[in-house]
Structure 1
């Protein structure tokens, strides 16, 4: 891979603070071997590398590639038949989902991510049936899809030891169900179970197989407090420290999870994890909607990261995370699209605007999100939640050259007043139609609506053909099982939490 200079009208190398982007006008980035060697003016880069190839984007804004810090599947749950129920009901409604080859499934959402400027994804995998060999095979397909497309991925397989459907032991819940529903459900849940040691073996095997790969890395994921035992959490923490990899853990996504933690531990979930020694810069908490003020202080004091999943929280009625208070306390907050964004796709430009708007609390103080802040969430802060850390997220020397080029004219046509800062206009107005080029690891992987490595139309046609076939007997059986168990899941949560406990802490300083 030779020297490459990419020039743009504006180059945003990163964010200095929540109000200030670092911008080079008529700038350029020199990439050597897929790594940023320098950033400055075009003449400066040419003097540093006179033999480099030059690609010019004179009407464009170059931004660091976006990081989707929380992602699970390709085709969305809605596409596969699951409406946007509250999270705990949604688990049951997803049981009947059609099966699709995971290589194709991964490509489907990766196409959407890259075309909106996402260059790195935190892929949190799980819910597989069939034992260790099936899980390892599934993980290999996911990782292979990202490598073949040229996308960067931080992969983890979510550890679930218990409570796979509701917030109590599988056996206890199934025992109360009518016959044969209870035994059928228990058999289904057991088909997803792995011995705990297999989770550690899977991490070790995937890590070995990933050696020498530039685009993919392997990390760990205790799925959630209700899905893990304390013994499992401690073992994963030790593995994380020994291997030097981060962890990503769903936590306090809903009020029901807040109540579960109090019933199980007599304290908040965050306090419990802190007492176990799990919190710190290696840990990212996914969602974090129902943190208390003390929880946020603990998160900030320990350097623990949070991934904000704005669309998902809305769609599944989980609540609104206290983003303004996170920022006030200095918490590192990434941005994730989870299963899908507000428009049932993976559009990071749109997700940034959603986060920008949702947290505009009443009042006139400077405590609402800014455009540089949400870009930092979608780049540098998101990078810190992945196994790539400070090697991505900015266009600084020594970091991988992952960048998105946004066409200023397309984004702002027919007019944009110059008094509005350039970055503010881009964040608030650019759509995916303005994404003209995406570079990952110094390679142009997306240009003018087409992917350079894989034919998107062919992949989508293959998915359409597969899913046009009738349901298999297994799919029919799972649909019947999911429909039958759904009302029992709802009954389980009736009265689970008291009304006064269903009020989140938003950290709002001014309300009308």
Structure 2
């Protein structure tokens, strides 16, 4: 048995409440074959395992590894030519994207995530052309990349059956376009179609192939309300329940999606899902920016989880999710970097600070705004609950996987940090990626001193650079032309989609009167 003891100046094992981290000064973690056996002082751990390998980090803070609870791609849309349009326009704006091998693409974002302390990712795959075999092959490449680098991944292939470009039936929208544009777009959208039964088949096949894997797990993902029929949502819920796996679903990311739900169901999206019987702790709703107070109440009562994607919501003009309302209801809220963070990368340390700052509403009561322990819990224990790993990770306590990030206190706080500021507050508000000295996943060092132990980052980046330095392929040129041609029609579709009725925001950040 491989036994390992890792000791740091400060060990934070988890969060007791929104004001109180759980910590041990000069604490150590004892793990055996990747699973935590005990935590305590170094001498105690040595007595429990006298022959264990010992690693000491005398100037460091050890935190549970971060969980990126909502992720899609490696190379960012901006890198591949898509400006930060509003979400509904962004889908058309992404049509010209360059193609890159998915194994390399996945490694690209895994490098960034791990280097900022992320040890587990919720990878929501999809939006691909090709039949079943091509999609299965693509999923396998994504999973192989995470296994190769040594990162945990909860993988799902998002179910999309309809309304692939706008909030209207594909053929109805295409029929409105001038010829031959309508025919070209129809063919493009049909290439992404897959029978619903094949989505379930893919889940079953990937689940069977994943047997025995420690780092990867498979779950389900209804992509969004407008992309799925009611019958499929119910079927996916039944499948997830039978297989004992969670689901992750985009919902109410934008005001347009809120209006779509009203037009389709005559009620809110959350009320509709509740009436279908698909809300429970097994379901995570990604974004949830445009919930009503009733929606928040329903989600809380059913134990439904939320994934907060703060950077994405800012970048795509989606709005600000009512995180403070979620917190007051005691909801399980994870944190996702989505396509990319505010700096067009996957920097979870930066995202922690963004979430901490974005919801600081006017007032004097600290309980009204996010706290450092609260945000840390979102990025660790709560995020873990939204994945197929659940309570097997997310805290540094006995029985869970040993996933941890070691942050160099001196690097984070140089030249000075007054000790009156709580340690966790100081490190969360000041640490940048250059302070990440080591990352452990499943008891293995996967990143140390700026280098990855399993993969040559420079070789991968050079290969990506060589591929994308080549001219666009005929297919890429064709998609670029199609995307540019259809873009104004997509924009026109949403003219007047949302009415000018009264609104009552959750936050009162400023006033015009």
- For residues 176-206 of structure 1, what are the alpha-carbon distances to aligned partners after superposition, in whole Å with 9 as ceiling and x for unaligned? 0000000000000000000000000000000
Structure 2 counterpart of 1:84: 84
Distance 2:139 2:4 in 1: 33
Structure 2 counterpart of 1:28: 28
- For residues 410-451 of structure 1, what are the alpha-carbon distances to aligned partners after superposition, in whole Å with 9 as ceiling and x for unaligned? 000000000000000000000000000000000000000000
Moved over 2 A (4+): 507-512
Distance 2:47 2:510 in 1: 53
C-alpha contact 1:289 1:504 (8 A) present in aligned 2: no
C-alpha contact 2:69 2:122 (8 A) present in aligned 1: yes
Structure 1 counterpart of 2:156: 156
- For residues 72-103 of structure 1, what are the alpha-carbon distances to aligned partners after superposition, in whole Å with 9 as ceiling and x for unaligned? 00000000000000000000000000000000
Structure 2 counterpart of 1:344: 344
Structure 1 counterpart of 2:64: 64
Structure 2 counterpart of 1:296: 296
C-alpha contact 2:361 2:507 (8 A) present in aligned 1: no
SS in 2 for 1:90: helix
Distance 2:54 2:112 in 1: 27
TM-score (norm. length: structure 1)? 0.99
Residue 204 of structure 1 pairs with residue 204 of structure 2: yes
What is the CA distance between 1:2 and its match in structure 2? 1.0
Counting matched residue pairs gives: 511
Distance 2:252 2:509 in 1: 22
What is the CA distance between 1:505 and its match in structure 2? 3.9
| Structure 1 vs Structure 2 CA RMSD | 1.1
- For residues 220-253 of structure 1, what are the alpha-carbon distances to aligned partners after superposition, in whole Å with 9 as ceiling and x for unaligned? 0000000000011011011000000000000000
- For residues 314-342 of structure 1, what are the alpha-carbon distances to aligned partners after superposition, in whole Å with 9 as ceiling and x for unaligned? 00000000000100011110000000000
Residue 398 of structure 1 pairs with residue 399 of structure 2: yes
C-alpha contact 1:293 1:507 (8 A) present in aligned 2: no
Please list every run of 5 or more consecutive structure 1 residues that lacks an aligned counterpart in the other structure.
Answer: none
Structure 2 counterpart of 1:309: 309
C-alpha contact 1:291 1:504 (8 A) present in aligned 2: no
SS in 2 for 1:24: strand
SS in 2 for 1:159: coil
Distance 1:2 1:261 in 2: 52
Residue 450 of structure 1 pairs with residue 451 of structure 2: yes
What is the CA distance between 1:504 and its match in structure 2? 6.3
Distance 2:449 2:504 in 1: 44
Please list every run of 5 or more consecutive structure 2 residues that lacks an aligned counterpart in the other structure.
Answer: none
Structure 1 counterpart of 2:384: 383
Distance 2:504 2:165 in 1: 24
TM-score (norm. length: structure 2)? 0.99
Mapping for residues 361-372 of structure 1, pairs under 5 Å: 361-365=361-365, 366-372=367-373
Structure 1 counterpart of 2:420: 419
What is the CA distance between 1:508 and its match in structure 2? 5.9
Distance 2:135 2:394 in 1: 30
- For residues 453-496 of structure 1, what are the alpha-carbon distances to aligned partners after superposition, in whole Å with 9 as ceiling and x for unaligned? 00000000000000000000000000000000000000000100
- For residues 18-37 of structure 1, what are the alpha-carbon distances to aligned partners after superposition, in whole Å with 9 as ceiling and x for unaligned? 00000100000001010000
SS in 2 for 1:197: helix
